[in-house]
């Protein structure tokens, strides 16, 4: 896109944001030009926390629908917009509310921990929410004797099981089709070519069970962005969706970032464009509103997650 047009759209978005008293939240997988105009860029947890703090009237969420739903659930007085209603998530589509009810009935006494990559209706059936940043900490705060039904990501659940050393965690068999494209033999080949590179991996990776032992770090998207800034390493093999490379390269121009799989691109995340953001703010489309009957029940696990995250952080600060 020629620079002049890009600048014009940027200016137009800035003017629309002012007119609507809007804030733009963008996930780390958004295309670079969206990340560059966003007020906040981050992972699911950081964006959920940011949404709660804003005093803007309108939150334009440039990510995928479950993230905008989470925002709408916890900020019912705000107008939450998404640029495109096709921005779904294959992982969130792997479990329905009726599946959770049935699974729960088969495991009386179990508590449901739902990864934030779930629909509002699924969250409404759950006890706790978690993101990739806080999944281990949330599970650690649940009484040891409680069976945990972890939904929907098998690989994140496997990682949590290993980190918490709990064997009473039962896993749903869902996965993300993008992270499933990342293969351990490809990571091994890249490591052979770049022996000094650190391997950083998202816990949704389909090769996690094979690669967990040799990955240098297993982190959320925001955890990865922070980690590469402080690590003394000069090269990184990055095992997640490729949109994250934009911020890494922008913030660390002298370091080298190698995608573990070039094809690991989330077409849901890439539905959003600058042009659709203009239309969204101009026409106030597409508003995400959750019916009250679901919203009230879905709020409970989200609030618990945010409280437990704040609690873990204050405990950490007290001991450091």
User: Which of residues 100 and 176 has its CB atom nearest to ligand 13P in the complex?
Assistant: 176
* Closer residue to ligand 13P in complex, CB, 60/266: 266
Residue 111 contacts ligand SF4 per CB under 6 A: no
Q: Residue 9 or residue 224: which is nearer to ligand 13P going by CB? A: 224
What residues from 4 to 63 belong to the interface with ligand 13P (CB under 6 A)? 28, 43-44
- Please give the Cα distance from 35 to 43 (Å, whole number): 12
Write down the least CB distance from residue 150 to ligand SF4, Å: 15
Task: List binders of ligand SF4 among 132-191 (CB under 6 A).
Answer: 176, 178
* Structure-token pair, residue 149: 């039904």
Binding map of ligand 13P across residues 153-182, x = CB under 6 A, - = no contact: -----------------------x------
Instruction: Find the DSSP H helices in the chain.
Output: 3-20, 32-37, 44-53, 65-74, 97-106, 120-123, 135-140, 154-164, 184-193, 208-211, 221-230, 245-251, 274-283, 292-319
By CB under 6 A, is residue 94 in contact with ligand SF4?
A: no
91 binds ligand SF4, rule: CB under 6 A:
yes
**Residue 219 makes contact with ligand SF4 by CB under 6 A:** no
**φ, ψ dihedrals at 140, nearest 5°:** -60, -25
Please work out the total of residues on this chain that contact ligand 13P, with binding judged by CB under 6 A.
Answer: 10
Cα 287–Cα 51–Cα 293 angle in degrees, nearest 5: 55
Window 116-145: contact mask with ligand 13P (x via CB under 6 A):
-x-------------xx-------------
CB of 220 to ligand 13P, least distance (A): 3
Cα separation of 232 and 81, whole Å?
Answer: 40
The answer to whether 218 contacts ligand SF4 (rule: CB under 6 A) is no
By a kind-dependent CB cut-off of 5 to 8 A, residue 90 interacts, out of ligand 13P, ligand SF4, none, with ligand SF4
Residue 63 Cβ vs ligand SF4, minimum distance, rounded to whole Å:
8
Q: Please, are residues 123 and 114 in contact by the beta-carbon 8 Å criterion?
A: yes
Give CA–CA dist 237/107, Å, rounded.
Answer: 40
Residue 270 CB-density burial (10 A; 0-12 exposed, 13-18 middle, 19+ buried): middle
> Which residues, in sequence order, are bridge partners of residue 27?
42
Contact footprint for ligand 13P (CB under 6 A): 28, 43-44, 117, 131-132, 176, 204, 220-221
């Amino acid at each position: 896109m020629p620079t002049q047009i890009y600048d014009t759209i940027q200016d137009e978005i800035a003017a629309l944001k002012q007119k609507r008293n809007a804030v733009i939240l963008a996930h780390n997988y958004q295309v670079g030009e969206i990340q560059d105009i966003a007020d906040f860029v981050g992972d699911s947890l950081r964006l959920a926390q940011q949404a709660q703090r804003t005093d803007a009237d309108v939150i334009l969420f440039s990510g995928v629908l479950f993230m905008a739903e989470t925002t709408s659930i916890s900020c019912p007085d705000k107008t939450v917009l998404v640029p495109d209603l096709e921005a779904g998530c294959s992982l969130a589509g792997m479990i329905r509310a009726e599946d959770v009810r049935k699974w729960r009935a088969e495991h009386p006494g179990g508590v449901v921990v739902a990864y934030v990559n779930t629909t509002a209706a699924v969250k409404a059936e759950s006890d706790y929410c978690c993101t990739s940043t806080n999944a281990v900490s949330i599970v650690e705060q649940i009484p040891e004797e409680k069976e945990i039904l972890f939904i929907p990501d098998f690989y994140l659940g496997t990682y949590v099981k290993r980190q918490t050393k709990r064997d009473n965690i039962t896993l749903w068999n869902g996965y993300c089709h993008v992270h499933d494209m990342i293969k351990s033999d490809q990571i091994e080949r890249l490591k052979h070519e770049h022996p000094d590179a650190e391997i950083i991996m998202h816990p949704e990776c389909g090769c996690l069970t094979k690669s967990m032992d040799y990955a240098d770090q297993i982190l959320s998207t925001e955890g990865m962005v922070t980690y590469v800034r402080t690590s003394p390493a000069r090269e990184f093999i990055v095992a997640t969706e490729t949109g994250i490379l934009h911020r890494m390269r922008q913030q660390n121009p002298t370091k080298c970032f190698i995608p573990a799989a070039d094809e690991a691109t989330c077409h849901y995340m890439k539905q959003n464009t600058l042009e659709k953001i203009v239309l969204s703010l101009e026409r106030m489309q597409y508003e995400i509103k959750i019916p009250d009957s679901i919203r009230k029940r879905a709020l409970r696990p989200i609030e618990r997650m945010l409280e437990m995250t704040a609690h873990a952080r204050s405990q950490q600060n007290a001991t450091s």
